[in-house]
Chains A and B, each alone.
Chain A
Amino acid sequence: MTAQILSIPGSSKSRFRTGGVSAGGLAIPALIALGVFFVYPITLIVWLSFTSPEIGFGHYLSLLTDGVTVTVMLRTIAVGLIVGLATLIIGYPYAYSMTVVSPGWRTVMMTMVMLPFWVNIIARTFAWFILESRGGLIDQFFQALGINGVVLLNTWGGVAIAMTQVMLPFMVLPLYTQMSTIDRGLLRAAGSLGAKPVASFARIYMPLSLSGVMSGFSLVFVVALGFYITPALLGSPDQALLSQIIATRVQKLLDFPGAGAAGMLLLVVTLIILGVLNWLVRQANPLMKRGAA
């Protein structure tokens, strides 16, 4: 299911099949690397979470009952959804304009999206640290408006704002890829058939861009759930996100099984949320429902 959700728009399973055995063979190095460096450690962690120190659901039960983890997890998911939504709201019009401007401007806009990628994540996060701290630019701005004490540092809101900026490319790129496959002539056709521009956008363009929305949102949401550096630098322990809890368990408490259980719990909840979203999108676009995009 995840493979499908996260697939690049335009790719499809059938294309792999046509390659046959020889093309499949090309994937072997990647499969070995995945097996050794990903599947094995994950299996180990899952195994530990159920068996160490004794066999059972002890770690999971204590996670659900310790009064902290559930709150943190809900906060993490909320932040993930908010960041996903915020990047969508900012990224959708941006990606759309990329499809209508001249090729020259498109290159400029693409570069502007990619630019933050080339700046170290820690450097970018420290930039936000300065912006959000007491007496920082944001605080000054609101003070000028007569509102005092807008210090976003150490709040999950401040974390979400910084994460939105960091994640924007993950939303814009899949959206743009999908949107550039939509024939703008369809809007012209809808116009000739009597549709007002707003109506044709809502009934023709939006549904056709949905698979890009789904790709971008899933990507941002999943990456946001596991984000560590930005929450660690901008957030605070009493408004922690799950990655911080896991890091604390591993680094400070050396509680590997407990950390593994927390990771597993997050994974399961994530898959459920993505599954529901994916189902909703398929209902809206029969092209995706019939499984051949």
Chain B
Amino acid sequence: MQKLEHEQAITVSNVTMQYPSSTALALNDVSLEIQPGEFMSFLGPSGSGKTTLLSLIAGFVNPSSGTVSIGGNQIDGLKPHRRDLGVVFQNYLLFPHMSVFDNVAYPLRQRKMDKSQIREKVTRALALVRLDPYADRLPKELSGGQQQRVAFARAIVFDPRALLMDEPLGALDKNLRSEMQRELARIHRELGMTFVFVTHDQEEALVLSDRIAVFNDGRIEQIGTPEDLYYRPSSLFVGRFLGDSNVFSGKIDVETSTFISPAGSAYLTREELEKTDANVMIVRPEAISIAPKTDTNTDGFEAAVREIVFTGSNVTVYMEFGDGTPGIAKLTMSEASKLAVGQAVTVSWDQLRQHLIHDDGLTS
């Protein structure tokens, strides 16, 4: 389990998948390349195709068309046991009749390693996930989080070409989840192995990933770094899926260099003016500033405060703009202390933190 020198990229080319039981396409002409050593997340709602793509890479199902290759070699038609990929399943799937040690040793025994080498590798893998004292226990004698760690150890002990994970933290409670997230990040750093991580939890994906592929309805909507996706979503779907946002539909007015929407008008930068087909502006709630409405500041967006919710680290303010568009802002305690429910306010934000996109589904 040293850092692997000869990592190989996983390439998915034009993969389409249709299950025999369904008329809809589970995957529709999907292509992507996962770089060696990268932490790549597949993010999307359930039924969006992310788990199907993972299963295709693992070899549990075969694509209707298209190819999957690792390190330039096509692996289509190769049975799972010959692909040399580690898989962590959502429900762990530990072998209930084998001890923790035997579970982790299983892939090594399949590879006919000699006993001393197996002992050494298993011990090291269990140390990596901090389970060394539990080697003799049966899986059912462990907590959920510990079982999860065994599943990790078992999937990486044989130095697979990549580790594939299908919602591995889905069954854990919130505290354990964030602890395991940090563990995962640490293990990824220490091993330098390619990790492919399927999740429907946008926060988890943002925290862990080098890059995220956002799935929607069998297609990849966007691939990019967490910052890219969060601040520069390519579609309304991505913008909405990766967290709360203020969404204004409207159009660019070149004369006045503004984006005109029923809720108000915002000045645009020179680059933004070139996105002529843009019809939606997205502003994240953290970018929003709110000031009580006065007679002097009449431009900008006017809204009424509808709800103020204390969430611990900050305060979420729900608003309604003049045209009925819902609005959301995340403020500090001191910023929010000046506000009251029902109050008329003026909403503004830094020009650099607004984002224009074109959305086909929107007719305005």
Binding site for B on A (CB under 8 A): 183, 185-186, 188-197, 199, 204, 207-208, 285-287, 290, 292
Contact = CB atoms under 8 A, between A and B. Distances in A.
Contacts of B138: 286-287, 290
Nearest to B96: A287
Contact of B110 (A183, A185, A199, A287): A199
Interface stretch (B80-88, B273-281, B333-341): B80-88
Contacts of B93: 183, 185-186, 188-189
A188 B85 CA distance: 13
B31 interface: no
Given A188-B80, A193-B154, A193-B158, A285 B97 contact: yes
Nearest 9 pairs of A and B residues by beta carbon: A193-B107, A189-B93, A194-B110, A192-B87, A191-B80, A287-B97, A191-B81, A185-B93, A195-B110
Contacts of A196: 81, 110
B103 to A, nearest CB: 9
A179 to B, nearest CB: 14
A191 B97 contact: no
B97 A195 contact: no
A48 B238 CA distance: 86
Contact of A208 (B80, B87, B96): B96
A191 B154 CA distance: 13
Contact of A207 (B87, B97, B154): B97
Nearest to B151: A189
Contact of B84 (A183, A189, A194, A207): A194
B95 A204 contact: yes
Contacts, number: 67
B95 A192 contact: no
B89 A193 contact: no
A207 B102 CA distance: 14
Interface residues of B, number: 28
A193 B110 contact: yes
B332 to A, nearest CB: 47
B158 A208 contact: no
Interface of B: 58-60, 79-81, 83-87, 89, 91, 93, 95-99, 106-107, 110-111, 138, 140, 154-155, 158
A134 to B, nearest CB: 51
Given A186-B93, A286-B138, A191 B79 contact: yes
Given A192-B85, A193-B110, A287-B138, 7 more contacts: A183-B91, A183-B93, A189-B89, A193-B106, A193-B154, A285-B97, A290-B138
Contacts of A292: 140
A192 B81 contact: yes
A285 B102 CA distance: 13
A191 to B, nearest CB: 4
Contacts of B84: 194
Contacts of B111: 194
B101 to A, nearest CB: 12
Contact of A185 (B86, B91, B98, B106): B91
Contacts of A208: 96-97
B204 to A, nearest CB: 22
A234 to B, nearest CB: 41
B317 to A, nearest CB: 46
A193 B84 CA distance: 8
A286 B96 CA distance: 9
A191 B58 CA distance: 10
A112 B59 CA distance: 36
18 contacts: A185-B89, A185-B93, A186-B95, A188-B80, A189-B87, A190-B106, A192-B83, A192-B155, A193-B86, A193-B110, A194-B110, A194-B158, A195-B106, A196-B81, A197-B81, A208-B97, A286-B99, A290-B138
* Centre residue among B106, B111, B155 by max chain A CB count within 10 A: B106
A192 B58 contact: yes
Nearest to A285: B97
B59 to A, nearest CB: 8
A250 B97 CA distance: 48
A271 B80 CA distance: 45
Contacts of B154: 193
B79 to A, nearest CB: 7
A192 B86 contact: yes
Contacts of A191: 60, 79-81
Contacts of B89: 185, 188-189
Given A185-B89, A199-B110, A192 B80 contact: yes
Contacts of B87: 189, 192
Contacts of B81: 191-197
A192 B61 CA distance: 12
A184 to B, nearest CB: 10
Nearest to A193: B107
Nearest to A191: B80
Contacts of A194: 81, 84, 107, 110-111, 158
A292 B97 CA distance: 11
A5 B138 CA distance: 23
A180 to B, nearest CB: 15
Nearest to A289: B97
A208 B139 CA distance: 14
